[in-house]
Amino acid sequence: VRDEYLPFIKNFIEAEFSGAVLKTLALIAFKSPVKQSTIIQARGNKSYSHIKELIDYKLVEAEQHGNTRMLRLTPKFFKYFNITQRDLKNKFKE
């Protein structure tokens, strides 16, 4: 979606991702950077497919880290949700 159309589709974001995927994304955002194994422990085995979906959408990136992967938010995440990294950290402090 082009940037100029993002304000029009903000209401449809939840429809694009299931509640479970959004919860996984929220945990990744809260702990980023975070080991995939930490997310799986907290959210269960179904999180593997959630993480794959988030990587496919390029909202999360994964880098091999020993036997697991390190998950980080991408610049596309911040652009997609129209939030800066600083604002995100401040929101989680509240």
What is the C-alpha to C-alpha distance for residues 36 and 67, in angstroms, rounded to an integer? 10
CA dist 59 to 21, 25, 68, Å?
12, 9, 19
Say yes or no to pLDDT of 28 above 80. Answer: yes
73, 89 in Cβ contact below 8 A? no
Mean pLDDT of 58-81: 94
- pLDDT score for 85: 87
- pTM value is 0.79
What is the C-alpha to C-alpha distance for residues 89 and 62, in angstroms, rounded to an integer? 20
Mean pLDDT of 70-82: 93
72 band by pLDDT with thresholds 50, 70 and 90 = very high
33 preceded by cis ω (within 30°)?
yes
Instruction: Spell out the residues 6+ positions from residue 46 whose beta carbon is closer than 8 angstroms to its own.
Output: 20
